[in-house]
Amino acid sequence: MSTETPVSVQILRESEIDERLDARLRSFLISIFPNWESIFRKRRAWHDAPPVFTVLATEPSGKIVGHVAVVERTISTEWNARFAIASFQGVSVIPERRGSGLSTRLLDVALEESKRVGYPFAALFCREPLVRFYQRNGWKLPYDSMIMWRDRELPIHMQSDYPMYRELGSTPFPEGAIDVHNPF
Ligand SMILES: CC(C)(COP(=O)(O)OP(=O)(O)OC[C@H]1O[C@@H](n2cnc3c(N)ncnc32)[C@H](O)[C@@H]1OP(=O)(O)O)[C@@H](O)C(=O)NCCC(=O)NCCS
């Protein structure tokens, strides 16, 4: 189908994703992120946390052309404030649809829904070449380190090591080092 074909964007809860769609989504993610096949062969999100919701772009035929999953994480600050946050994963658009603003549309829907759910912040981890792309979309680099931990002693090795965040309400993103926990 040509890129003229309209794309619809919908928000899906886990209860709306049956086994068949789950398998199609995992195949889609493997096609976009072949290096992460070992994860996506089993599940759609990192570190065993199922998405709170998934934003999906499809053509009328049902073909999946874009995806963002939002999982819940907890962040804690140097002064022990804790926040449940929306963590964005698997941001992806098929190559034929790139450069048309579809990822911005998906991200906007995911940000709006995260805000509606009540999360004060959204965060994601990306690779260095995408930092500018996210910055153009309003995402910011934290003031200090933002490290994901399995427990207090063991930082999780991230394949995408640039954390970025968005403020979703009036709470300013905390300054200082941030620990990210999965999920609490
Ligand atoms: C990231 C993505 C969703 C953006 O889709 P899009 O809105 O259609 O945007 P584009 O693909 O046109 O890319 C936007 C910009 O990022 C750059 N970019 C995208 N992927 C890149 C990569 N892997 N390496 C370097 N630059 C990249 C593009 O060159 C473009 O830069 P420009 O606007 O200065 O020309 C899409 O490129 C994609 O699915 N990439 C593969 C999966 C991925 O890496 N996801 C990010 C996980 S954090």
Domain ranges of the chain: 8-181
| More reliable by pLDDT, 1 or 131 | 131
What's the token pair of residue 128? 């260095």
Q: What is the pTM of this model?
A: 0.92
Pocket mutation for ligand 1, best pick of 68, 93, 135 (most atoms within 8 Å of C-beta):
93
Mean pLDDT, rounded, for 157-182: 90
Whether the per-residue pLDDT at 181 is higher than 90: the answer is no
For residue range 25-55, list pLDDT tens digits in order.
Answer: 999 999 999 999 999 999 998 877 899 999 9
CA atoms of 100 and 82, how far apart (whole Å): 37
Closest Cα to atom 47 of ligand 1: 91
The reported pLDDT for the residue numbered 126 is: 94
Closest Cα to atom 41 of ligand 1: 92
- Position in ligand 1 atom list of the atom nearest CA 99: 12
Whether the per-residue pLDDT at 153 is higher than 90: the answer is no
CATH topology of domain 8-181: Aminopeptidase (3.40.630)
Q: Is the peptide bond before 50 cis (omega within 30 degrees of 0)?
A: no
CA atoms of 54 and 64, how far apart (whole Å): 12
